[in-house]
């Protein structure tokens, strides 16, 4: 499932059918959610996913993005203000530099340990 374009469930269903698996687009979406496989943009972290990785509150992390403590930019999407507007986009390097510069603020007991170590050790995002 990690090798198909999960952001397009209809195309995924076609690919699965080509390989002999009859799966509906809905079944693919449900399964990807259960496996916690991201279906979205993966080049950068959203503020919510970065907060989850660091074990902090997403609202407070967004405030740090607004204040400039964390270098982040808004993604250009079609989201309405009622939907929360455009999400923040934090590059791997910027999140890593924030962590290294503010290590005393990070509660190691609350971080997603595997993703946190991967962030600190690897400069490129993991595949899949």
Both 55 and 79 in one domain: the answer is yes
Both 26 and 83 in one domain: the answer is no
**Residue 75: per-residue pLDDT:** 78
Query: Model's pTM, two decimal places?
Result: 0.62
68 in a structural domain: yes
**Residue 41: per-residue pLDDT:** 57
**Residue 22: per-residue pLDDT:** 92
Both 31 and 54 in one domain: the answer is no
Q: Which domain holds residue 107?
A: 45-121
Both 50 and 105 in one domain: the answer is yes
**Residue 128: per-residue pLDDT:** 46
Both 4 and 55 in one domain: the answer is no
61 in a structural domain: yes
Both 36 and 53 in one domain: the answer is no
pLDDT by residue (tens digit) across 52-99?
Answer: 999 999 889 989 998 999 999 887 777 777 777 777 889 999 999 999
The token pair at 34 is 């259960």
What is the total count of domains within the chain? 2
97 in a structural domain: yes
pLDDT by residue (tens digit) across 5-63?
Answer: 777 788 889 999 999 999 999 998 888 888 877 666 567 888 888 999 999 998 899 89
């Amino acid at each position: 499932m990690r090798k198909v374009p999960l952001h397009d469930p209809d195309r995924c269903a076609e690919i699965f059918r080509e390989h002999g698996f009859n799966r509906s687009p809905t079944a693919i979406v449900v399964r990807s959610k259960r496996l916690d496989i991201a279906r979205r943009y993966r080049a950068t972290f959203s503020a919510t996913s970065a907060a989850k990785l660091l074990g902090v509150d997403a609202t407070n992390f967004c405030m740090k993005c607004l204040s400039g403590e964390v270098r982040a930019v808004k993604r250009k999407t079609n989201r309405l203000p009622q939907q929360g507007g455009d999400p923040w986009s934090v590059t791997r390097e910027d999140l890593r530099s924030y962590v290294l510069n503010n290590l005393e603020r990070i509660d190691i007991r609350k971080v997603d340990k595997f993703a946190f170590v991967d962030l600190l050790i690897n400069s490129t995002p993991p595949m899949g």
